Amino acid sequence: MDYKIIIDPGHGGNDPGASGNGIIEKDLTLKISNYMYNRFKELGIPVFITRSTDETLSPTERVNRIKEYAGNDKNVVVVSNHINAGGSIGKIVMARI
């Protein structure tokens, strides 16, 4: 089964996300996401990234970009990168768009 991978860097533009110790979430998620995107491409895995620069995306715009790439394909994995602050515990959320 062939899967498509979608990388979604959290926050961006006028939404910085969490910050502390000189780290701004939107910048770190973008750096991590661009690394992942490039690595998947090197491996020949079909991949798309919702934003590759520091831009503001509304939740609706994020979903629309995902749908534009994936259409109705059910073999899609979306990785939304976020950096927790203050000792929070991350979670994996699986949803069908």
* Confidence check: pLDDT of 83 > 90: no
Tell me the β-bridge partners of 20: 23
pLDDT tens, residue by residue, 7-65: 999 999 999 999 988 899 999 999 999 999 999 999 999 999 999 999 999 999 999 99
Domain residue ranges in the chain = 4-41+55-81
Confidence of residue 87 (pLDDT cuts 50, 70, 90): low
Q: Given pLDDT bands bounded at 50, 70 and 90, which one contains residue 3?
A: confident
pTM: 0.86
Nearest CA-CA partner of 54 in 31, 22, 81: 31
Q: What proportion of the chain, given as a percentage, has pLDDT over 90?
A: 71
pLDDT above 70: percentage of residues in the chain: 86
DSSP string, 24-75: EHHHHHHHHHHHHHHHHHHTT--EEES-SSS----HHHHHHHHHHHHTT-S-
